[in-house]
Amino acid sequence: MSSDRVVMLVDNGVHGDSRVQKTARSVAEAGWDVTLLGCSPTAEEQQWTLGPARVRLLPMGGDRSGAIRQRLVRRGGRLLRAARLARRPVERAQVGFWRAVHGDRAWRRLEPGLWSYERAFGEVIDELDADLIHAHDFRMLGVGARAARRAREAGRDVKLVYDAHEFLPGARPRRDNARWLPAHLGYEREYVGDADTVITVSETLAGMLQREHRLAERPAVVLNAPETTGGEAVPDLRALCGVGAATPLLVYSGSASPQRGLATVVEALPLLPEVHLALVVGDPAAPHITALTAAERVHAVPYVPPAQVPRFLSAADIGVIPIHHWVNHEIALVTKFFEYSHARLPIVVSDVRTMAETVRATGQGEVFRAKDAADFARAVRTVLADPQRYRAVYDGPDSPLPGWTWEAQAEKLAGLYRSLLGVTQQSSR
């Protein structure tokens, strides 16, 4: 067993982030000493374990600007919108000025809140004395890079892995201002060169990252595939929805934000008179979910643990991915794509590039035009007419499933760690 210490960084509370959870646990199970640092939702540090990995959620401090902004939206929406429009020419001028003066380093003026992650994480990372830092996504890249620089200045050889979960130039800004995207783009460009290796979630994204950042090597791909082990009983999806075995049941699992396209599915249900829709979501009582379930034959049920997801979903007839065209939607094989596949469900997916190409190549489902309810209904009817034709793909000689497991991806990741750390063999715990 190696004594190498790994510190993983993520800008969320870990709960609900299956890639981060699986990565931390599998690396620890392979024998490394893993501490996963995330963001506490309270003013107190929180701790627990993921298998042999330790999880610590660190308090982020007292920036309450987001909460204040939400109260203003509720109390004076029209006034705030008018002020926002007036603010946009000023923000664009700020972006242009600071980028002209500082280049990529302009994020320090445009998005100074990024320093909050440094304040919360920096000292803790130093104390953990890591041999390898694994930074999940762009916000943690700078935190990890600065920690690696400090360690190297102190005479220690620390490796940095940048795990790019998405293509930042194609991301939706997470704040409604003109500064957010250019600031974060500069932040990523400033620090990506510090990474000893870059990994990402799809081959398409690997190529885009290599071109965007002129990387000497193509990023390694670690798919966000599901775990296939675990034999514990799972809830009955059909029973939770109150439908019998003969009722055609569509299932959608994951985030229900507008760009995920669930409105298209609900709009199509009158064209599919016998069909029901199950929404597997984090909070079935959330207002945007109850608005969807107000329609007939739509049911919301809560998440199950990651290892149970494929078996839970397998009670449905079709897995649906109705997402809209957006850069990061075009390039990804999303988590639910693999979960539906391991549930051996036919998949109906919108014509976003990578998933549409995959479905057409494997024959595991049908493709429809994004936002087109009639075409979605056509695709569903086609699958329901001969579902076994699509399910047969999963059991045939060319089945993609053996490579679409987290166990296979975890071995890739362990090999990458061994190469970076100069470990010839790693024994499991």
**pLDDT digits over 70-82, tens only?**
444 445 555 555 5
pLDDT at 103: 87
Does residue 248 sit in the same domain as residue 362? yes
CA–CA separation, 309 vs 235, rounded Å? 10
CB distance 187 to 138 below 8 Å: yes
Residue 62, pLDDT above cutoff 90 = no
Q: Are residues 323 and 413 in the same domain?
A: no
pLDDT-derived band at 424 (thresholds 50, 70, 90) equals low
- The parent domain of residue 29 ranges over 5-62+100-225+407-421
Which string of b and e fits 265-302 if b means at least 16 CB within 10 Å? Answer: bbbbbeebeebbbbbbbeebeeeebeebbeeebbbbbe
The tokens for 389 are 């034709």
Could you give the residue ranges of the DSSP H alpha helices within 193-316? 203-213, 237-241, 262-268, 287-293, 309-313
Q: Which residues pair with 198 in a beta bridge?
A: 162
Q: Are residues 388 and 250 in the same domain?
A: yes
Residue 70, domain member (yes or no): no
Same domain flag for 197 and 247: no
Residue 349, domain member (yes or no): yes
* Within a domain: 427: no
Tell me whether residue 366 is in a domain.
Answer: yes
Same domain, 41 and 175: yes
pLDDT at residue 235 is higher than 60: yes
pTM: 0.85
In the chain, how many domains are there?
A: 2
Measured CA to CA, the distance from residue 156 to residue 147 in angstroms comes to: 11
Whether residue 198 sits in one domain with residue 56: yes
pLDDT digits (tens, 9 = 90+) for 188-227: 999 999 999 999 999 999 999 999 999 999 999 999 998 8
123 is a domain residue: yes
Mean pLDDT computed over 378-397: 96
Residue 94: inside a domain: no
Give yes or no: residues 195 and 303 share one domain. Answer: no
- Residues 107-138 have pLDDT tens digits of 999 999 999 999 999 999 999 999 999 999 99
When pLDDT is cut at 50, 70 and 90, the band that residue 340 belongs to is: very high
Helix (H) / strand (E) element for 149: namely helix 138-153
Residue 184 falls within a domain, yes or no? Answer: yes
Within a domain: 342: yes
Diameter of the chain by CA atoms? 68
Shared-domain flag, residues 255 and 387: yes
For the domain that residue 243 is a member of, what is the CATH number? 3.40.50.2000
Residues 346-367 pLDDT 10s: 999 999 999 999 999 999 999 9
Same domain, yes or no, for 214 and 181? Answer: yes
